[in-house]
Amino acid sequence: MSDQERIKVGQHIQEVEGLRPGAVRRTVLRGAQLAGLDQYLARAPLKSVRVSGELRDDGGHFTGDHICGTIRISARRVQGEDYGIPFRWGEVATVATSATTPEQAMQRTFVHELGHCLLYRLMEQEGREAVKALIKPVFREAVDMSRTVSERAEENWHEYFCETFSASVYHHRELTSRDPVGYRMVQQARALLEVDHGDS
């Protein structure tokens, strides 16, 4: 399928480090296409995607982060912890843990971090307070009503946005019934950034 090769280094992402072999690279980067960001990233490319064996901070191992257009992804994935956990709305640690393979989990982490990237760009465009005013009340209500997709989504409004964004990609139908307000929030963010839904 030529579709799998649509996200191109040098076009959608300026540089990619540490993603070998090619099949893994295609699987992970395909997340941007599944998220309907291919045309958007062609206009506004990511700076870089860096994959490494392990990412650690004071809190221990973590699976990925986003800083100013650079996304880092950890390749260290433990079955039953980082992937391979049956999806149940509101009961999983993160949307990524329900991936069935390490590569799919890395892809889901990539999509979550793309959410952080969109949020960052939205704050640059609209101002931090305006974005907070848009998302934080939706987050609070979702937590109060137990509508959040994952434990991570309950942490703060940033994580709520990114996990809801991931849910819009991987659990779209369930999102529209379980957290329709969150779904509309994601759609609103996409509209503000003029993110189209690709050709697919």
Amino acid at 146: S
The answer to the question of residue 71 lying near Zn ion (CB under 5 A) is no
CB of 96 to Zn ion, least distance (A): 10
Q: Which CB atom, from 154 or from 196, has the smaller least distance to Zn ion?
A: 154
CB of 5 to Zn ion, least distance (A): 27
Q: Tokens 């329709």 correspond to what residue? A: 180
Binding to Zn ion by CB under 5 A, coded x per residue (else -) over 135-174, reads: ------------------------x--x------------
Q: Which CB atom, from 13 or from 73, has the smaller least distance to Zn ion?
A: 73
CB of 15 to Zn ion, least distance (A): 22
- Among all residues, whose Cβ is closest to Zn ion? 162
The answer to the question of residue 106 lying near Zn ion (CB under 5 A) is no
Find out whether 14 and 47 touch, Cβ atoms under 8 Å: yes
Distance CA 153, CA 165 (A): 10
Q: Which CB atom, from 95 or from 162, has the smaller least distance to Zn ion?
A: 162
Beta bridge partners of 61: 56
Q: Which CB atom, from 64 or from 102, has the smaller least distance to Zn ion?
A: 64
Q: Which CB atom, from 82 or from 159, has the smaller least distance to Zn ion?
A: 159
Instruction: Give the CA count within 13 Å in the CB-facing half-sphere of 126.
Output: 21
Task: Tell me the CA distances in angstroms from 62 to 67, 81, 96, 131, 145, one per residue in order.
Answer: 14, 12, 12, 26, 28
Distance CA 143, CA 179 (A): 11
- Give the interface size with Zn ion as a residue count (CB under 5 A): 2
Burial 112-140 (b: 16+ CB within 10 A, else e): bbbbbbbbbbbeeebeeeebeebbeebbe
The residues binding Zn ion (CB under 5 A) are 159, 162
